Amino acid sequence: MSRLDAAANRHEFKMGPRFRSMMEERISRLEMDASRDEAMLQRLENSDHIRRQMRLVEVQRQEAIRIRRFLDQSGVRESEP
C-alpha cells in the first residue's frame, strides 16, 4: 500500500478542488483509453500482441479504480475566497 493510499485510508489527505478535478479527468482518460484499447483487440492477430493489449487494458482499469478509491477516501480543502 502506498503512502497516499495509507493517508487516504485514515481520512487525513485533503486536496484542493482543482487537483481533485485533475484526478477525475485522469480517471476519465484512463477509462476511455481502456475502452479504446479493448476495442483494438478485434484487429490484432498475434497472440503476444493480444496478451499485451489485454494487460494494458487491465492496468488502465486498475489504475482508474485505485485513483477513484483514493478520491472517495480523501477530503477536499475549502477553497479560499
- Name the β-bridge partners of 14: 75
Packed helices 47-73 and 17-40: angle between N→C axes, nearest 10 degrees: 160
In the chain, what are the domain boundaries? 3-71
Q: Label residue 78 by pLDDT band (50, 70, 90).
A: confident
Task: Confirm if 26 and 60 have CB atoms less than 8 A apart.
Answer: no
Alpha-carbon span 48 to 30, nearest angstrom? 22
* pLDDT tens digit sequence for 44-70: 999 999 999 999 999 999 999 999 999
For residue range 10-46, list pLDDT tens digits in order: 557 888 999 999 999 999 999 999 999 999 999 999 9
The SS3 of residue 11 is: coil
Specify the residue for cell string 489527505: 13
